[in-house]
């Protein structure tokens, strides 16, 4: 997988097209535009050759991944995503999933982007160890010769070459200058492509691309200027009818100005017969030349001719009062409900429409932090919440922001900070129910981090009197203390209540994580698989994308217990990649289980490397259980050595390092996976630990 990074005009799109030549396998490509960022999943759907359902369905991401599987089933495939920095956040999240899946599919992924604006999911993509980023270098004479020859079929001469290489970092400069010189008649008609002698050619050669753009736009007036302004506001390729509607023209009246702009190379028809600027320089220049009040009027007009999600963007850009902005966002609800990352981006744009009111800005920030957290962008949620907290004067707003901070700190494994924030929030004026939620969350944090011994009795006689967070915590406590039937009933009750009308929607947010995991140990893999399908459906309906990684860990565990070791390895690897990119710290059980897959496949060196990597940079242990260490299975000859402690090498009594193969795990018992607790292992006769993977809490 390759990501090509470069500034505007550096030649990213050209490089991507050249990379596709001679690929020898099917290639699917898509280019994002400024309009793409407003339409959830539109870019990903275009890349995969489909169209997302409207209104948006809760399982759109799953449908897109199913589409990818079907395409890869036919053979190797290349996906080329151009200008990904302009894509909507939901599509970029799918792009991350595609990159994770590419490890196990006949798939190559090529992406181009600008370094700014920074997009969270592209940053995650670049963190992957199997992704290589290529920063486009400046052109040299050889690059320029190839560019000119590709465009004209001729090689540049000695007078033309230095003119085109005036800005070697921008291929767009060379292309724009070349096209201007051709239109000006300043180039030789045959032979090597060079400047004609004379003052006119010298003057044309002295103009830069911006001069060319400005000169062309300065000549525009009347309907032609209306067309380019409307297209600039539309933000991407648009039909002639849409451009005419935004610009206040009859479609037929737009024909002549559009043709005039096509003839002069300002516009071009792209796929689907949609108009687009020849390059971004034209759109940026049109905007800079249009006074802000006129741009706001054009955005108001555009809001009347576009779907709900796009309308919200134009209402925000039009400078409408906050009430209208919030109404537009509510109207876009069906589109944004299943795309919280897109909602977060819109709310970020809306923060500029808060009429200068700090209180309004804080209200918008609360909505944005919650959308960021739901979409799994914990770092950005935390940054936004901290910024807004400094402006919050309403105690209720401060509590809401602190709850987001507590959730983000919990997810990234910083239990110390999370507990400190819980205690600090409880010390402030807090509504009674929120106080109860935070108190139960404190108990959940202590339990999750294994900071205290597990309680053997419930905190209250009837767990249904607890908050939803408390109910989840009690379900997990019962699971860990050996009461899986009670645990699974409480877990399903918590899942059922989550997002119910009478329940705080921001409590018990992990309720849809635990049912399939508990079912795995109560009813086995078949029951767990049924439960997983149900909670995945709920995750999609509730827009809780942050749970995706946890559900993949559970899917991998089901594969492991079912004996599908190859599937388990692939799914664990994908989920661990997503966890690392998303800064999710609670992976100790998954790391141990993934190493166990290596052991069961006889890949002991791989298991040891994996566990050594964990020891070198350990993260929190889920429930305090040292699951990675337990995979080492220290078995010793009579009178030989001592059990290995964390961070020390396993050695025999003679001081030699011993492999776990001495335990017989290279050829596991026929009954494994699903080895009952206490069953003796094959070679050494030792009994499995009480909380061995597959038997937690017994």
pLDDT for residue 355 is more than 80: no
Please state which of the ranges 349-353, 354-358, 444-448 shows the lowest mean pLDDT.
354-358
Average pLDDT over residues 151-176: 85
What is the model's pLDDT at position 281? Answer: 80
Number of other CB atoms surrounding residue 612 within 10 Å: 12
Q: According to the model, what pLDDT value does residue 151 have? A: 86
What are the two backbone dihedrals, phi and then psi, of residue 480, each rounded to the nearest 5 degrees? -70, -25
pLDDT reported for residue 581:
80
∠ CA 374-376-382 to the nearest 5 degrees?
Answer: 90
pLDDT higher than 90, residue 204: no
Q: Which helix H or strand E contains 132, and what residues bound it?
A: strand 132-135
Band (pLDDT 50/70/90 cuts) for residue 633 is low
The mean pLDDT value for 611-619 works out to 89
Across the chain, mean pLDDT equals: 84
pLDDT given at position 176 = 79
Q: Tell me: pLDDT of 345 over 70.
A: yes
Q: How far apart are CA 120 and CA 341, in angstroms?
A: 10
- In this prediction, residue 104 carries a pLDDT of 85
Q: What is the pTM of this model?
A: 0.78
Question: Cβ(145)–Cβ(131) under 8 Å?
Answer: no
Q: What is the model's pLDDT at position 634?
A: 41
pLDDT tens track for 662-680: 333 333 333 333 333 333 3
Tracing tokens 């399908």 back to the chain, one arrives at 533
pLDDT tens-digit readout, 293-340 = 999 999 999 998 877 768 888 998 898 888 888 888 888 877 788 889
Higher pLDDT, 553 or 167: 553
SS3 readout for 380-437: HHHHHHHHHHCCCCCHHHHHHHHHHHHHHHHHCCCHHHHHHHHHHHHCCCCCHHHHHH
CATH superfamily of 451-628: Tetratricopeptide repeat domain (1.25.40.10)
Q: pLDDT digits over 416-442, tens only? A: 999 999 999 999 888 999 999 999 999
Give the model's pLDDT for residue 664.
35
Tokens, residue 489: 């009933």
CATH fold, domain 209-290, is Arc Repressor Mutant, subunit A (1.10.10)
| CA-derived radius of gyration, the chain | 30
Q: What string of H, E and C letters represents the secondary structure of 255-319? A: HHHHHHHHHCCCEEECHHHCEEECCHHHHHHHHHHCCHHHHHHHHHHHHCCCCHHHHHHHHHHCC
> pLDDT by residue (tens digit) across 239-274?
999 999 999 999 999 999 999 999 988 999 987 889
Q: What is the pLDDT of residue 528?
A: 97
Check whether domain 2-135 has CATH 3.40.50.620, yes or no:
no
Average pLDDT over residues 360-373: 90
């Amino acid at each position: 997988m390759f990501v090509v990074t470069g500034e505007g005009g550096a030649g990213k799109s050209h490089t991507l097209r050249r990379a596709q030549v001679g690929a020898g396998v099917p290639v699917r490509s898509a280019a994002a535009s400024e309009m793409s960022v407003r339409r959830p999943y539109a870019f990903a759907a275009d890349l995969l050759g489909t169209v997302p359902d409207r209104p948006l369905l809760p399982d759109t991401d799953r449908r897109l991944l199913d589409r990818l599987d079907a395409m890869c089933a036919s053979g190797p495939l290349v996906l080329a995503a151009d200008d990904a920095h302009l894509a909507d956040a939901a599509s970029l999240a799918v792009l991350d999933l595609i990159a994770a899946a590419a490890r196990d599919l006949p798939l190559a992924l090529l992406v181009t982007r600008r370094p700014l604006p920074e997009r969270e999911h592209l940053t995650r993509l670049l963190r992957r160890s199997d992704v290589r980023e290529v920063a486009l270098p400046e052109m040299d004479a050889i690059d320029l010769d190839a560019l000119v020859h590709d465009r004209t079929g001729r090689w540049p001469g000695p007078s033309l070459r230095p003119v085109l290489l005036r800005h070697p970092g921008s291929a767009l400069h060379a292309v724009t200058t070349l096209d201007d010189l051709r239109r000006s008649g300043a180039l030789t008609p045959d032979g090597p492509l060079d400047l004609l002698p004379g003052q006119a050619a010298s003057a044309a050669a002295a103009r830069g691309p911006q001069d060319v753009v400005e000169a062309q736009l300065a000549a525009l007036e009347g309907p032609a200027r209306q067309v380019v302004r409307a297209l600039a506001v539309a933000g991407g390729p648009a039909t002639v009818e849409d451009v005419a509607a935004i610009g206040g023209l009859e479609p037929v009246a737009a024909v002549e100005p559009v043709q005039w702009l096509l003839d002069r190379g300002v516009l071009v028809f792209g796929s689907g017969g949609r108009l687009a600027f020849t390059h971004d320089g034209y759109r940026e220049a049109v905007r800079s030349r249009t006074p802000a009040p006129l741009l706001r009027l054009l955005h108001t007009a555009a809001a009347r001719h576009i779907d709900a999600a796009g309308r919200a963007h134009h209402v925000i850009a039009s400078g409408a009062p906050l009430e209208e902005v919030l109404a537009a966002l509510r109207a876009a609800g069906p589109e944004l409900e299943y795309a919280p990352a897109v909602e977060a981006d819109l709310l970020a744009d809306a923060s500029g429409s808060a009429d200068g009111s700090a209180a309004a800005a804080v209200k918008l920030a609360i909505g944005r932090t919650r959308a960021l957290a739901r979409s799994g962008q914990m770092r950005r949620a935390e940054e936004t919440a901290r910024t807004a907290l400094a402006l919050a004067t309403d105690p209720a707003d401060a509590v809401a922001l602190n709850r987001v901070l507590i959730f983000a700190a919990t997810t990234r494994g910083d239990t110390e900070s999370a507990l400190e924030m819980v205690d600090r929030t409880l010390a402030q004026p807090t509504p009674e129910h929120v106080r109860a939620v935070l108190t139960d969350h404190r108990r959940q944090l202590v339990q999750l981090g294994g900071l205290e011994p597990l309680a053997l009795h419930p905190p209250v006689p009837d767990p249904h009197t607890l908050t939803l967070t408390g109910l989840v915590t009690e379900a997990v406590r019962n699971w860990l203390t050996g009461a899986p039937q009670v645990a699974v009933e409480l877990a399903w009750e918590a899942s059922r209540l989550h997002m119910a009308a009478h329940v705080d929607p921001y409590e018990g947010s992990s309720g849809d994580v635990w049912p399939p995991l508990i079912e795995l140990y109560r009813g086995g893999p078949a029951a767990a698989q049924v439960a997983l399908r149900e909670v995945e459906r709920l995750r999609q309906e509730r827009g809780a994308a942050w749970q995706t990684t946890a559900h993949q860990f559970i899917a991998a565990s089901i594969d492991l217990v079912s004996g599908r070791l190859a599937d388990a390895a692939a799914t664990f690897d994908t989920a661990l990649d997503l966890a690392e990119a998303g800064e999710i710290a609670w992976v100790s059980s998954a790391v141990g289980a993934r190493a166990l897959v290596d052991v069961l496949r006889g890949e002991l060196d791989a298991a040891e490397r994996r566990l050594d990597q964990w020891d070198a940079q350990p993260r929190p242990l889920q429930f305090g259980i040292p699951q990675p260490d337990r995979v080492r299975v220290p078995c010793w000859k009579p009178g030989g050595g001592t059990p290995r402690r964390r961070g020390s090498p396993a050695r025999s009594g003679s001081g030699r390092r011993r492999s776990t193969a001495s335990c017989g795990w290279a050829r596991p018992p026929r009954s494994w996976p699903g080895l009952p607790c206490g069953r003796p292992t094959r070679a050494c006769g030792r009994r499995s630990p009480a909380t061995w993977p597959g038997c937690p809490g017994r």
